[in-house]
Structure 1
Amino acid sequence: MIEQSRVATPATRAEPTAAHNPRAVLTVLSLAAFMASLDTFVVNVAFDAIGTSFSGSSIANLSWVLNGYAIVFAALLVPLGRLADRIGRKRMFLQGLGLFTAASVACAVAPGLWWLVVFRLLQAAGAAAITPTSLGLLLAAVPAGKRLGYVRIWTTVAGIAAAGGPVIGGLLVTASWRWVFLINLPVGIVAFVAARHVVPDSRDTAVTRIPDGLGAGLLTVGVGALALAIVKGGDWGWGSEDTIAVFVLAVAALAGFVWRAEHHPVPVVDPALYRVRTFAAANLAMLAFSLGLAGYLLMVVLWLQNVWHWSTIATGFGVAPGPAMVPLVAVLTQRLAHRVQAGALAAVGSVLFVVAAVVNLLLLGPHGTRYASELLPGQLIAGLGIGLTLPTLLAAATAGLPPHRASTGSGVINMTRQIGFVLGVSIVVAILGAPASYAAAHHAFQHGWWTIAGAELVAAVSCLGLLRRRASTD
């Protein structure tokens, strides 16, 4: 759902081509976006299988298969999107697609856990190039009057990936977790060849400067160090020299990132954006909401596989009902958007997520034969909450921005989403640890559900900042 508010400005120039078919362009670009989005969801289901394959890997170390991807994706999303505007979106799209596909194959043959993490970082760099450029190319190739409908279709693809990801991941992991990555090879090749022949190029001639690469590097180090300190703090000791040193590194790197944003002519994040009340509120809400969402998804998978001892394919089907509701609810939300304020919709969705976490806290027991009465209620409520909140926040973040900042604002809100994802996974890993008994595991999961509920409550309160004021200067 990246950059769904991007619009082609007069400075955007499409390269002349033979008569291109907008529907064919939509199909090709959506296929690539689907592949990048799907990978996020299938790896969650493969989490336990990867750990079994690389024996001796702790949950803290395994978390970097998820976190490494999210950190690099977050740091490179905006810079690569801006760079693509300058050098040509099609060129960046094809390079990103090629890198993502090659890195996927490398992930499939990774000989060890840390090799897998490195290849996941390369995958993330490819995804960060694919996602903003695919929508930019689409908007430049589609007549102005049809853009909204095409963007909705492109956006829905991410919802379909969320719904199908757990099931597809479960089926693939039944053969081997390596198929989760290897399946990207034929899809990537088809998308690459088709894009070369079907998709016309475009660029923004107003973009003349290179984005702040050092700022992106500082963001990567800062978020990575923060995740490392949270994940390893329990093993190292929260007051140990190692933990404190890594926390200090995180603070220093993030402070450097903020300083660069204030002084660089083309910062990763324009500080002026956060002076728009609705944008600041949407980003704070997205950070808290994504933290809870990432933690929730990981906890459900770990509960099914490590407490109920379900197979991977059963876990995939068990996780699917929640994400499957998201595109359905998102479509219904579009009809409410003109009647109900975005802040109210997002706040209700976040509160529903709080309810889902509390329901799981109260209902989940040690026996995996009571899925319909123990886990399914929370799954359905969470899916309803995600469908109400996530697309609403993505759209509301840019609603109060001037047109020339909509593209950057949309990239930043998705960067915030990825950072929330990193923090959610890290905090859940730190809370769960490695319990030695069911009693210890149940106690740890209870703390996890309360943490998720707390994060979503913060998101709900932050969403109120999106409510329109009678006399607003924004």
Structure 2
Amino acid sequence: MTNLERRAAAAGASASPGPPPFTPPQGAGDPRAVFAVLALAVFVSTLDVFIVNIAVPAIQADFTDSTVAGVSWVLNAYAIVFAALLVPAGKLGDVVGRRRVFIAGLFAFGLGSALCAASPSLGFLIAARILQGAGAAAITPASLGLLLPSIPPRSRAAAIGVWSALGAVGAASGPSLGGLLTQVSWHWIFIVNVPLTAIVLAGAYRVLPEIRDPARPPLPDGLGTLVLIAAVSLATLGLVQGHAWNWDARVIGCFAAAVVLAAVFAARSRRHRAPVLELSIVRVPAFALSALSAALFSAAFSAMLLANVLFLTGTWHYSILRAGLALTPGPVAAAVCAPFAGRLAQRVGPGLVGGAGALLFGIGSGMWVAFIGAEPAYWSLFFPAMLVGGGGVGLALPAFTIAATATLAPQTLATGIGAQTMFRQIGSALGVAAFVAVFGTPTAATVIGAHDDVRWFMIAAAAGAALALVFIRRPGGADRHPAHRQRDQIGEEA
């Protein structure tokens, strides 16, 4: 054997078979194009959550005889439908095709946006927001289900990182962009979605593959979805109409009916082959505690978003644009702190990190109660409290997801994240409703006290969220799923 042959044989013997080459799904375009299309869709749907709050005073002023309670349904209708349809939409995509569900969601979101912009009445606007929420619920799970199979494994971590950052960018730009657009007209916060959605639709038809679950799972529980919508809507109605109905038998009836429907929903989830909520994951203590904490914190957070807009525009008489710019540092502080939350949670546990974030949020709210009055003092008082609270949001939100998924088996991660997002949206709807119930219809002499009452509610909800997180053990404990412990051990050895 020649020297050349011996070297070739040695090279062949020492070579180890590497991972199989990446093969994108049939019909997928360039991975960068796939990511761009899906990322733009998620950015638009995320932005819409934060951009509408700043327009609430303008919407109320445009529809004469409307009240804060009535306009609150513009926020709540979206949140309730989004919460109830999120998990079923993801399961429907596994059955009929994720690309098909994604495109249908885009069409519904774009059409809903156009109808919102053209709304001749408050009731019409609320109905259009329901269509928008249904579209967003279809976009969110289908987008991630289309992204990961279309990107090489070595690029997925970076793609998910950028993906998560887009949510922070949407949150941070929502108040200022919403203020700028509302300065022209509140209709523009919806008009801007239409061309963006059209761009995403054109790209979706060109570059997105069709992906289904080869196991052909059953269709999701449609009746259970309607029962959940009815239960949350009745609880929200009771809170929103409490003052108008003098907290009489009608309010009690709403709450009682909501409890009954919640029990019916739980019974259906126990029996149905593809329930809206997988009760098996709720029985995992860490998941149940994180879901409860996320719902409580989301209630406080959503109340804060609406309360601050009304405070700045109604009490300090800021313009919509100035209020939007004034509120931007809070989401920016959250975006800055969020990347540290994940790494810190791996060291000390998501319960401690999320609990600390919820407490910081409560401290920021307490600073508003203690120091903020009728006289504007933005830079000396409002701004520092907003930075403290925003930093708490940045620590808390990632910790909720880490805590929820740490004890779940890998095959239930997607279901767990979807369920936790559902609880967060339900908390958001109930938080806006609680704001209406607590705030009431104050006079000029009592408005500061009404805002302080709302802030006490925010403090109490944040404290409840922190308390629930305290009972979640740090990663690596006995309640952590073995697959996650093994993954962390491999990561530490590497």
Q: Same fold (TM over 0.5)?
A: yes
TM-score, normalised relative to structure 2: 0.90
- Give the aligned partner of residue 343 of structure 1: 351
Does the 8 A contact of 1:356 with 1:379 survive in 2?
yes
Distance 2:26 2:320 in 1: 48
- Give the aligned partner of residue 17 of structure 1: 27
Distance 1:335 1:257 in 2: 37
What 5-or-longer segments of structure 2 have no aligned partner?
1-22, 482-494
Distance 2:397 2:479 in 1: 24
1:455 and 2:461 are equivalent in the alignment: yes
- Give the aligned partner of residue 288 of structure 2: 280
Does the 8 A contact of 1:277 with 1:465 survive in 2?
no
Does the 8 A contact of 2:25 with 2:150 survive in 1?
no
Distance 2:346 2:423 in 1: 26
Report the identity percentage: 40
Distance 1:137 1:465 in 2: 35
Q: 1:366 to 1:261 in 2, by over 3 A?
A: same
- Give the aligned partner of residue 35 of structure 2: 26
1:241 and 2:252 are equivalent in the alignment: no
Q: What is the Cα deviation at residue 470 of structure 1? A: 4.8
Instruction: Identify which of 211, 225, 250 aligns with 2:234.
Output: 225
Does the 8 A contact of 1:365 with 1:374 survive in 2?
no
Distance 1:230 1:472 in 2: 37
1:365 and 2:373 are equivalent in the alignment: yes
1:386 and 2:386 are equivalent in the alignment: no
1:301 and 2:309 are equivalent in the alignment: yes
- Give the aligned partner of residue 99 of structure 1: 108
Matched letter for residue 431 of structure 1: V
1:80 and 2:85 are equivalent in the alignment: no
Does the 8 A contact of 1:308 with 1:366 survive in 2?
yes
- Give the aligned partner of residue 186 of structure 2: 177
Q: Which moved more, 1:147-156 or 1:464-473?
A: 464-473
TM-score, normalised relative to structure 1: 0.94
Q: Which moved more, 1:333-342 or 1:170-179?
A: 333-342
- Give the aligned partner of residue 202 of structure 2: 193
Q: What is the Cα deviation at residue 473 of structure 1? A: 7.4
Cα distance per residue 1:357-377 (max 9 Å; x no partner): 100101111122x20112111
Does the 8 A contact of 1:14 with 1:203 survive in 2?
no
* SS of the residue 1:235 aligns to: coil
Q: Which moved more, 1:243-252 or 1:180-189?
A: 243-252
Q: 1:189 to 1:128 in 2, by over 3 A?
A: same
1:51 and 2:57 are equivalent in the alignment: no
Q: Which moved more, 1:381-390 or 1:201-210?
A: 201-210
Distance 1:400 1:352 in 2: 26
- Give the aligned partner of residue 139 of structure 1: 148
Aligned pairs for 1:305-454 within 5 A:
305-368=313-376, 370-437=377-444, 439-454=445-460
Distance 2:242 2:308 in 1: 23
* SS of the residue 1:466 aligns to: coil
Distance 2:322 2:378 in 1: 11
Instruction: Identify which of 76, 80, 103 aligns with 1:71.
Output: 80
- Give the aligned partner of residue 253 of structure 1: 261
C-alpha RMSD of matched pairs (Å): 1.4
Does the 8 A contact of 1:358 with 1:450 survive in 2?
yes
1:271 and 2:254 are equivalent in the alignment: no
- Give the aligned partner of residue 6 of structure 1: none
Q: 1:151 to 1:417 in 2, by over 3 A?
A: same
Q: How many residues align?
A: 458
**Moved >3 Å (runs of 4+):** 468-474
Does the 8 A contact of 2:94 with 2:217 survive in 1?
no
Matched letter for residue 441 of structure 1: V
Q: Which moved more, 1:394-403 or 1:188-197?
A: 394-403
* SS of the residue 1:203 aligns to: coil
Q: 1:129 to 1:172 in 2, by over 3 A?
A: same
Distance 1:17 1:181 in 2: 32
Q: 1:41 to 1:470 in 2, by over 3 A?
A: closer
Does the 8 A contact of 1:14 with 1:201 survive in 2?
no
Does the 8 A contact of 2:117 with 2:188 survive in 1?
yes
* SS of the residue 1:209 aligns to: coil
Q: 1:471 to 1:411 in 2, by over 3 A?
A: closer
What 5-or-longer segments of structure 1 have no aligned partner?
1-12
Does the 8 A contact of 2:269 with 2:275 survive in 1?
yes
Q: 1:280 to 1:372 in 2, by over 3 A?
A: same
Does the 8 A contact of 2:182 with 2:188 survive in 1?
yes
Q: What is the Cα deviation at residue 175 of structure 1? A: 0.5
Cα distance per residue 1:182-219 (max 9 Å; x no partner): 00011011111011112222121224201111111010
1:464 and 2:474 are equivalent in the alignment: no
Matched letter for residue 17 of structure 1: G
Distance 2:172 2:246 in 1: 39
Distance 1:471 1:409 in 2: 19
- Give the aligned partner of residue 297 of structure 2: 289
